[in-house]
Amino acid sequence: MQSFGFYSPTEVAFGKDAELKTAELIKKYGGTRVLIVYGGGSVVKSGLLEGIEQLLAKSGIAFNSIGGVKPNPRLSFAKSGIKEAIKFGADFILAVGGGSVIDTAKGIAHGVANPDKDLWAFWTNEIPLERSLPVGTVLTISAAGSETSESAVLTNDETNTKIGYDTPFNRPKFAVMNPELTFTLPVYQVACGVVDIMMHTLDRYFTPTEGNEITDEIAESLLRVVIKHGKTAVANPSDYEAMSEIMWCGSLSHNGLTGLGADWDFAPHQLGHELSGKFDVAHGASLSAIWDSWAKYCLKAKPERFVRYAQKVWGIEKGNAEETALAAIEKTASYFKSVGMPTCFTELGIGVQSEEILRELADRCVFFGKRTVGSFKVLDREDVYNIYKLANH
C-alpha cells in the first residue's frame, strides 16, 4: 500500500423511512435555523419537501426553503441563496435533492460563513476557505456522491466555466439515504447516475500508481455491482434492490475510498466539464460521451492497467494485452449505450463541432495553457484537443 490520508466523517442514515431522522440529525449537529435548498418541482410533487418541513416544525426548528437549483448548478443561484440565508439568519444548510442541490448547498454554506469574500474565488483557489456552515443532505438521486464527498462543482454562468472544488469543509455532517426516494426519477437521470458513479471510480482506478491491491479490489467490486444493477435500475427505477445498491455505491465511489493511495486521474471529468459548461448537457452524459475517446487515446500509457480492468471487471481474456485492453474499452462503451448513454458528440446531442470550437474547448480545459490534466497520461492542450477530435462524430 502507498501512503494516504483518509477522512470521511459524514454520518449516514440509510434505508426505508430514513428521512424521518432528518430533524434529529440537524439538532445533533447544532442546527436551529435551517435553509432548505432544493431543485425542481419533484420534491414538491412527491410531498418530500412538505414532509421534511413538517418534521422540522414539530421539532421546533425554524426553517426557510428556496428552490430552483438546475443541473450543472449555477454560481448565481448559490449567491442568491447566500443572501437569503444571511437574511434568514441560517446556521445550517439542508440540501434535499441530488448532486447539483448538494453542491449548491455547500457553496451557500461557504458564502454565509464568509460574507465578505467572493464565493467564486474559493473555487478558483484564489483565497483559502477557513470556515463554513454545517450542511446536511437528504438524497434523492444516486449519482454524484456529493452527499459524502469533499468535492463540489459550480458553473459560473457569466463565463460558462464549470469547476470542481475540493475541501474538507465540503463534507456534509450527515447523509439521509432512502432508496425509495429515487423511485420516481426519469430513466435518463437514473442512467446518468450510473455513469457518474462508474466514472468517479474509473477516474481513480486509472492511475500510474502501483501496489494498492485492496484499493483496486474495492474499486473493481464496486464497478461490477454498479454494472450489474445499473441495467435493472434503468429497466425498473422502482426496483428496491437495484436502487439501494446503486445508492450506496454512489457514496462509496466519491468519498475517496476507491482511490486510496493512488494518484487520481480525473481527466475525463475535466474534459466533460467543458462540454457541460458550454452546451449545458447532463454531467453523466458528458462523461460517457468522452470516456471511449479518452481511453483509446491514453491506452498505450499503461496497457496493463486496462488489461486488469478487462479481467477483473468484465471477465475478458483476449490473448495479447492490446486486444484485451481494446475489448474492455469497447465493452464499456457498449454498456453505456445499453443504458441509453452517449459515447460521442452526436449521441450527446451537440452534433459535430467545428475546428474552432474544439480548440476553444481544449483551451478552456487546460486553463489556456496554465495547467495540464490527468495523471494516468498527463494531457496538455494538444492532447485534450485530440481527444475531443476523436469524440467529434
Count how many residues are written for the chain: 393
Tell me 13's DSSP state. Answer: E
Taking the CA atoms of 30, 141, 288 and 385 in sequence, report the sign of the dihedral they define.
negative
Which pLDDT does position 40 carry in this prediction?
A: 84
pLDDT value, residue 367: 95
All structural domains of the chain, each given as residue ranges with its CATH number in brackets, are: 11-182 (3.40.50.1970), 187-391 (1.20.1090.10)
The string of pLDDT tens digits covering residues 267-322 is 999 999 999 999 999 999 999 999 999 999 999 999 999 999 999 999 998 778 99
Q: Running along the chain, 393 residues long, what does each successive block of 10 average in pLDDT?
A: 93 98 98 96 93 98 97 96 98 97 98 98 97 98 96 95 96 98 94 97 96 96 98 96 98 96 96 96 97 98 96 91 95 98 98 98 97 98 98 98
Distance between CA atoms of 303 and 317, rounded to whole angstroms?
14
The two beta strands, 92-97 and 135-139, are: parallel
- Greatest alpha-carbon pair distance for the chain in Å reads 66
Q: How many C-beta neighbours within 10 Å does residue 353 have? A: 20
Nearest to 350, CA basis, from 296, 392, 387: 392
Check residue 319 and give its pLDDT.
78
Q: What is the pLDDT of residue 24?
A: 98
Q: Which residues are CB-contacts of 134 (< 8 A; sequence separation ≥ 6)?
A: 29, 30, 31, 91, 92, 93, 109, 173
Q: Which residues contact 330 (CB under 8 A, 6 or more apart)?
A: none
Burial 111-127 (b: 16+ CB within 10 A, else e): bbbbeebebbebbeeee
Q: CA-to-CA distance for 157 and 134, rounded, in angstroms? A: 26
Q: Which three cell numbers stand for residue 33?
A: 435555523
